[in-house]
Amino acid sequence: MRERTRLDQAITGYNSLQQELDDAVALAELAEEEKDEESYGEAAGDLRELQARAKKLELESLLSGEADINDCFLEVHAGAGGTESQDWAEMLLRMYVRWSGASRRKVEWIEESAGEEAGIKSATIKITGPMAYGWLKTESGVHRLVRISPFDSNARRHTSFASVWVFPVIDDSIDIAIEEKDLRIDTYRASGAGGQHVNRTDSAVRITHLPSNIVVQCQAERSQHRNRAAAMSMLKARLYEAELQRREEESQALNAQKSEIGWGHQIRSYVLQPYQLVKDLRTNIENTNPDAVLDGDLDEFMAASLAQRIGVLGDAPEGGEEDQPSEA
């Protein structure tokens, strides 16, 4: 049913695009005949906007992965480095929340572990909306930040790392076998947002899947029972995503991205000082306005990495990462 809805929406989108294109071309032709520069400029602007929409629709039509139409969970984990990395993890989380809002997708907080002085140690959100997993799946990996630290009284430059992991929400039609003996279930007192109740009971639940060492946790609900059910749903989603990744690696000989949060396995670098640059290390796409990127302007990066992944673009050109500044 969801697939049919997606196809109906795609057809409606293409039909709407075609109608708007015909209208813009007609307006441009009429403006040219009457030498109406204002109307001609308006039509030209409409055509540029339609071109961008057409590229996005083309890319979405190629998102045909098994779980691309699904909603998704997104986890952010701070790397080593204490407050610096924890603040960076919170900045990344905000970036994805802002992107979701701008693209009219809904965000639900699942779990958050506050940082020691600022930021977060980790957090999990659920993003609901059209092709959420399809668009976000290439955001999994390590993200690096270089800036003058606001926490360093000597104003030295620091390099911080945080990892992002994206996995699809799955429905009951997908059967994931999990044996009780393979689980370790812990309860703890929730922290973060949630009011007074959240700090008075051990309602938060953490589940460890021993064979895979996958850990999920939930504190969004007031009852331990509901948090356990939500955590089990997340675990099934993680195991499903792991299977999807295994299949893709077998067919495309890709290396797993989830590893130690450090210099290896980076996907994107964000430099705020001494210059300003956001660079994707897979596609070499760059943006010299990191403030806009951190405010959710991610479509260009997502589109390029998705296009490369599904074969619309070739491999990224030689060059790799810019010179790495020294750490404080």
Q: Is residue 326 part of a domain?
A: no
Q: What is the pLDDT of residue 164?
A: 95
From start to end of 97-156, where are the E strands? Answer: 106-114, 120-128, 141-148
Q: Is residue 324 part of a domain?
A: no
Kindly give, in sequence order, each residue whose CB lies less than 8 Å from that of residue 171, ignoring residues fewer than 6 positions away: none
Instruction: Tell me the longest C-alpha to C-alpha distance in the chain.
Output: 78
pLDDT: which is higher, 260 or 168 = 168
Regarding whether 292 and 225 lie in a shared domain, the answer is yes
Q: Is residue 102 part of a domain?
A: yes
Regarding whether 242 and 111 lie in a shared domain, the answer is yes
Regarding whether 135 and 38 lie in a shared domain, the answer is no
- Tell me the C-alpha to C-alpha distance, in Å, between residue 101 and each of 76, 108, 129, 301: 18, 11, 10, 17
The most confident of the ranges 54-63, 194-203, 217-226 is 217-226
Q: Is residue 202 part of a domain?
A: yes
Q: Is residue 327 part of a domain?
A: no
From start to end of the chain, where are the E strands? Answer: 72-78, 106-114, 120-128, 141-148, 157-168, 183-188, 204-209, 214-218, 266-271, 277-280, 286-287
Regarding whether 182 and 111 lie in a shared domain, the answer is yes
Q: How confident is the model at residue 25 (pLDDT cuts 50, 70, 90)?
A: confident
The whole domain housing 11 covers: 2-61
Judged against a pLDDT cut of 50, whether residue 218 lies above it is answered with yes
Residue with the two structure tokens 């067919």: 251
Q: Is residue 328 part of a domain?
A: no
Half-sphere exposure at residue 237, Cβ-oriented, CA atoms within 13 angstroms:
24
Regarding whether 232 and 171 lie in a shared domain, the answer is yes
Considering just the CA atoms, what is the radius of gyration of the chain in Å?
Answer: 22
Tokens of 211: 């064979």
Phi-psi region of 322 (alpha: psi -120 to 50; beta: other; left: phi over 0): beta
Q: The CATH number of the domain where 171 resides is what?
A: 3.30.70.1660
pLDDT: which is higher, 36 or 254 = 36
Of 61, 83, 109, the residue at which a domain comes to its end is 61
Please state the rounded mean pLDDT for residues 13-40: 84
Tokens of 57: 């629709």
How far is it, in rounded angstroms, from Cα 236 to Cα 256? 19
**Average pLDDT over all residues of the chain:** 82
Judged against a pLDDT cut of 70, whether residue 200 lies above it is answered with no
> Hey, what's the torsion of the CAs at 222, 226, 232, 237, to 10 degrees?
-80
Regarding whether 157 and 36 lie in a shared domain, the answer is no
How far is it, in rounded angstroms, from Cα 110 to Cα 234? 10
pLDDT: which is higher, 226 or 67 = 226
How far is it, in rounded angstroms, from Cα 145 to Cα 269? 6
Q: For the chain, what percent of residues have pLDDT higher than 70? A: 80
Q: How confident is the model at residue 159 (pLDDT cuts 50, 70, 90)?
A: very high
Please state the rounded mean pLDDT for residues 220-236: 89
Of 61, 80, 103, the residue at which a domain comes to its end is 61
Q: Is residue 322 part of a domain?
A: no
Of 16, 40, 61, the residue at which a domain comes to its end is 61
Q: Which DSSP string do the residues of 157-171 spell out, in sequence order?
A: EEEEEEEEEEEE---
Q: How confident is the model at residue 11 (pLDDT cuts 50, 70, 90)?
A: confident
Q: What is the pLDDT of residue 7?
A: 63
Judged against a pLDDT cut of 50, whether residue 259 lies above it is answered with no
Q: What is the pLDDT of residue 325?
A: 38
Q: How confident is the model at residue 130 (pLDDT cuts 50, 70, 90)?
A: confident
Q: Is residue 321 part of a domain?
A: no
Regarding whether 102 and 12 lie in a shared domain, the answer is no
Q: How confident is the model at residue 86 (pLDDT cuts 50, 70, 90)?
A: very high
> Do you find a cis peptide bond into 130, omega within 30 degrees of 0?
no
Instruction: List the one residue out of 76, 65, 70 whose CA is nearest residue 128.
Output: 70
Regarding whether 28 and 12 lie in a shared domain, the answer is yes
Regarding whether 268 and 232 lie in a shared domain, the answer is yes
Please state the rounded mean pLDDT for residues 24-31: 85
Number of domains forming the structure of the chain:
2
Q: Does the predicted TM-score (pTM) go above 0.75?
A: no
Please state the rounded mean pLDDT for residues 297-322: 68
Regarding whether 94 and 40 lie in a shared domain, the answer is no
Kindly give, in sequence order, each residue whose CB lies less than 8 Å from that of residue 45, ignoring residues fewer than 6 positions away: none
Regarding whether 151 and 42 lie in a shared domain, the answer is no
Alpha helices in 104-188 (DSSP H): 132-136
Please state the rounded mean pLDDT for residues 64-72: 82
Contact 125, 74 (CB under 8 A): yes
How far is it, in rounded angstroms, from Cα 236 to Cα 170? 8
Regarding whether 169 and 152 lie in a shared domain, the answer is yes
Q: How confident is the model at residue 197 (pLDDT cuts 50, 70, 90)?
A: very low
